Structure 1
Amino acid sequence: MADHQRIHPLVTDVEAPPPTRHPAPQASLVRSEKGDPGQHQVPLGHAVAAMPPALKPPKRRNCWCKCLCWTLSLLIVLLIIVGATAGILYLVFQPKLPKYSVDNLRISDLTLNFDLSLYARFNVRITAENPNKKIGIYYEKGSHLSVWYKNTNLCQGSIPRFYQGHQNRTVLNVALTGQNQYGRTLLEALQEQQQTGRIPLDLKIDVPVSIKLGKLKLKKVRVVGTCMLIVDSLSTNSLINIKASTCNFGVKL
């Protein structure tokens, strides 16, 4: 019976489900900071979501901002330097405006011509005072003085060029001449005003001057102002009494 034993082949169950293949376990590689046992360990095999790069402003805008900042900074520094220099000069030299006064007025001629124009010639004596201890004044060419009755110019002239030293007082005799075409009307108005004994006249002054600080001569400025006079008469060839005089002056760059 043993010789006749049959060996049956291994029959596979067709209906059995296929065996499930499990992937081989992979070694989990980790990265950790040395010396920091509390640091979390992150598996290197896992994908880390990358952050999107930050948007950068255009380079042209950055250059413009830098240029603007440098320009403003330079202007501020220049203003500080100019202000400090002006303050030092003011403390050292203590500048003061020159003073002017009208001492007397004489009318040499006031004639009505055949063409009915009015010719006038005035002589004015003016005192110019420089009150500064460390500043000299150069009176330059181009000065203009004029005498007005209300809104009518009677005569005009100029003062000569000269240098006025520190704390100096200079007396100027200035001749003013002029001719007005509305002479008859103007002369009648002056004669009528003369009857009141108070004739208003304005002496307007515009003088270019240069300031001398030590040995330094600065740029020219203009001394401008008006002296409002009240005189008693307009008689020719006689000294006129000045009843009131008010002068106001300033500097014009």
Structure 2
Amino acid sequence: MTDQQKIHPVPDVEASPQTSPTAPLMVQSSSKSDRGNPVEEYPPPHRNFPVVHSKTPKKRSCCCRCLCWTVSLLLLLIVILGIIVGILFLVFRPKLPKYSIDSLEITQFNLSSVDSSLSATFDVTITARNPNKRIGIYYEGGSRLTVWYTETKLCEGSIPKFYQGHRNTTMLVLPLSGQIQNGTGLLTTLQQQQQETGNIPLRLRVKQPVRIKLGKLKLMKMKFSVRCRLVVDALSANNAISIQSSSCKFRLRL
């Protein structure tokens, strides 16, 4: 017998000799990765972004606008008042009045044998000076003048109504009177202090309503407050009383 013919598979001529039968098929494209391998390109996925709408500015409320107008008007009023006060100051050049206590006379200062009350009657001389060239002072009614020893009121009185003109000096002699209940202890304290120190400190307070006159303009009523400290050598009736020292402070209250 003839040798059996061996059949060998004939390789496919159309197949590419470089392609491995086990290699996966891949669609090549024109772009490649950095390593030389082909990279597939796909269109980017579609993303839904939120739509942001711009907010319209809110209108200011009526209350806010009213508040702004009120504050603006107040500031404008303050500025106008400041300008007016500055002009008046430059025109009139105001100066504070001055006061001094010139003398103190005691006409009565004794104990009552009935109820041990202490009666006091003083005559005090006060000098009021108005140093202003263009400002007058109307002293109105309702004033109050008191004399104190420590916390005890000895006597009181008032200043009469009068007008004090420009650069005027007025001397006032004012009667003061008072009565202190159970005055035995107070009189004993005064006598002891007079013997130990040779002087007695007193305080004089004045509360006076006034009106200021600027040229022909009469301003609203205000109050003068005067506080004086004085030291006398004695407090006894029918004796010459010497004022050793005195000083007064002036305050203006609207």
Tell whether the structures are fold-level matches, with TM greater than 0.5.
yes
Following TM superposition, by how much is the alpha carbon of 1:182 offset from its aligned partner in structure 2, in angstroms? 2.3
SS at match of 2:61: helix
Q: 2:44 aligns to what? A: none
Sequence identity (%): 56
SS at match of 1:72: helix
Distance 1:231 1:193 in 2: 12
Q: 1:160 aligns to what? A: 160
The number of equivalent residue pairs is 202
Following TM superposition, by how much is the alpha carbon of 1:53 offset from its aligned partner in structure 2, in angstroms? 6.4
Q: 2:215 aligns to what? A: 214
Distance 2:62 2:147 in 1: 61
Alignment of 1:231 with 2:243, yes or no, is no
Stretches of structure 2 that go unaligned for 5 or more consecutive residues are: 1-50
Aligned partners of 1:146 and 1:156 also within 8 Å: yes
Q: 1:187 aligns to what? A: 187
In the TM superposition, 1:1-253 aligns within 5 A as 52=53, 54-57=55-58, 59=59, 61-113=60-112, 114-195=114-195, 196-253=197-254
Distance 1:66 1:159 in 2: 53
Following TM superposition, by how much is the alpha carbon of 1:98 offset from its aligned partner in structure 2, in angstroms? 0.8
Distance 2:202 2:52 in 1: 88
SS at match of 1:240: coil
Following TM superposition, by how much is the alpha carbon of 1:97 offset from its aligned partner in structure 2, in angstroms? 1.2
Give CA deviations for 1:38-90 in whole Å, capped at 9, x if unaligned. xxxxxxxxxxxx98463342x5x432332222112111111110000000001
Give CA deviations for 1:97-125 in whole Å, capped at 9, x if unaligned. 11000000000000101201100000000
Counterpart code for 1:88: I
- The range that moved more, 192-201 or 159-168, is 192-201
Following TM superposition, by how much is the alpha carbon of 1:198 offset from its aligned partner in structure 2, in angstroms? 0.9
Distance 2:239 2:170 in 1: 24
Distance 1:144 1:96 in 2: 23
Following TM superposition, by how much is the alpha carbon of 1:96 offset from its aligned partner in structure 2, in angstroms? 1.1
Give CA deviations for 1:197-247 in whole Å, capped at 9, x if unaligned. 110011111111110011111011111121111111113123310001111
Please, what TM-score do these two structures have when normalized by structure 1?
0.77
Distance 1:214 1:101 in 2: 26
Provide runs of 4+ in structure 1 moved above 3 Å. Answer: 50-56
Distance 2:149 2:52 in 1: 88
Give CA deviations for 1:115-166 in whole Å, capped at 9, x if unaligned. 0110000000000000100000000001111111111000000010000000
SS at match of 1:239: coil
Distance 1:235 1:51 in 2: 97
Q: Give the CA RMSD over aligned residues.
A: 1.5
Stretches of structure 1 that go unaligned for 5 or more consecutive residues are: 1-49
Q: 1:238 to 1:62 in 2, by over 3 A?
A: same
